[in-house]
Amino acid sequence: MSKTVESVALLSSSPGARHQLKVHRYGTPGARPKAYIQAALHADEYPALLVAHHLIEQLDKLESRSEIIGEVVVVPVANPIGLGQRVNDRHLGRYDLAGGGNYNRNWPDLSARVLERIEADLTDDPEHNVSIIRRALQVEVSNMPVRKELDHLRKALLSYSIDADVVLDLHSDSQALFHLYASVHHEDLARELGRDLQARAVLLETEAGGSPFDECNAGVWWRLKQSIGSRFPIPLACFSSTVEHRGEQDVEDGLASHDAEGILRFLQRRGAIKGDAGPLPEKLCEPTPLEGTDLIYAPAAGLIVYQKELGDWVVEGEVVAELVRLLPVSNEPARTPLVSKTSGLFFAHMGDRMVGPGAALAKICGSVPLAHRESGKLLEA
């Protein structure tokens, strides 16, 4: 089947204005494996947009040579709402300005409703169980209410992703090395993806907290498996990952093309695309638990001066940055050292240097879970 491009007109939030999703579909609808890839759910994460641009160029060539075996769906601009949010000519794409909060939080957990729908029809055949669960997921997505434009966006994206074997949610951080997030249930696939993409950090989560998009897609499978127990086989039929394409200024064709090629190699290994992906590249890191990642927060307002560079190995107790208080009160130090609570790789930090109290400044990925990092509250706002 030849490539198709679908347009989804979202609910208009203002008279005379309407956003659209463009969905590029390759291969044969319903063919397996199915891969779904979207870019910039946080709409101001520009490196992801350029990776999707290169990915579509390369998939077009593969489609012309009939090299798509399964189905590959790409949404190159996953958030046209956020893409249009500009205030005083500054782009603000992380939060819905209409009051919906972080675009990558509060996605629905469909597992309980799916369980009610399919429990009586489960058998000892895992393929049968996967099939009925996917049908039930599609029904539940179709039943999601649409009251606001953001509701429509979420429903539209999930309608394409919820039955996929592989879901890749492409993002970028503020200033960062390449890293990705995935579930502990998929450690082997996360390792493989990390090697194909040459990630400097692979962060494994038991429960990230905040209900992000990747967990909405993959989490339903392990939650159903936990609910059903040993009564019936429930495969973990969806691997999902949040992929962070470095920092917001890393908008370069060379980097984006390299990342797109890595994604295609991963899809070749999954059997969605013809061809030999070749040997896995050398790993650049070992996976670490997300609860072992220390987030350093600003204790007060001021200027941040980093004392470490991205890529540095930081020892527990070492100063990563200093907060400069511009108007210190009496007996208050002008500078406050900010130290790491773990030993690990300094892989990301905030781009702004003037910060307010509570701002998440820096990330260091350690191998040991940290007592102050509560399970279920592991992502910044």
Q: DSSP for 303-372?
A: EEEESS-TT-EE-TT-EEEEEE-SSPPTT--SEEEEE-SS-EEEEEE-S-SEE-TT-EEEEEEESS--TT
Clarify whether residues 58 and 159 are in a common domain.
yes
Q: Do 124 and 96 belong to one domain?
A: yes
Instruction: Flag whether 16 is in a domain.
Output: yes
Count other C-beta atoms under 10 Å from residue 286's C-beta.
11
Provide the CATH number for the domain around residue 323: 2.40.50.100
Domain extent, residue 325, equals: 289-366
pLDDT in tens, the chain (381 residues): 689 999 999 999 899 989 999 999 999 999 999 999 999 999 999 999 999 999 999 999 999 999 999 999 999 999 999 999 999 999 999 999 999 999 999 999 999 999 999 999 999 999 999 999 999 999 999 999 999 999 999 999 999 999 999 999 999 999 999 999 999 999 999 999 999 999 999 999 988 888 999 999 999 999 999 999 999 999 999 999 999 999 999 999 999 999 999 999 999 999 999 999 999 999 999 999 999 999 999 999 999 999 999 999 999 999 999 999 999 888 888 999 999 999 999 999 999 999 999 999 999 999 999 988 876 677 876
Measured CA to CA, the distance from residue 107 to residue 218 in angstroms comes to 12
Cβ atoms 40, 171 nearer than 8 A: yes
Among 88, 99, 17, 58, residue whose Cα is nearest residue 253: 58
Biggest distance spanned by C-alpha atoms of the chain: 73
In terms of pTM, does the model score above 0.95? yes
Sign of the dihedral through C-alpha 200, 205, 209, 214: positive
- Same domain (yes/no): 318, 256: no
Q: Which of 224, 252, 286 is the last residue of a domain?
A: 286
Domain annotation covers residue 371:
no
Q: Are residues 300 and 239 in the same domain?
A: no
Would you say residue 377 lies in a domain? no
Q: DSSP of 245-262, one letter per residue?
A: EEETT---HHHHHHHHHH
What is the count of structural domains for the chain?
2
Where do runs of H (alpha helix) occur along the chain? 46-64, 80-83, 111-118, 126-142, 149-161, 187-196, 213-228, 253-270
Joined together, the tokens standing for residue 285 give 């890191």
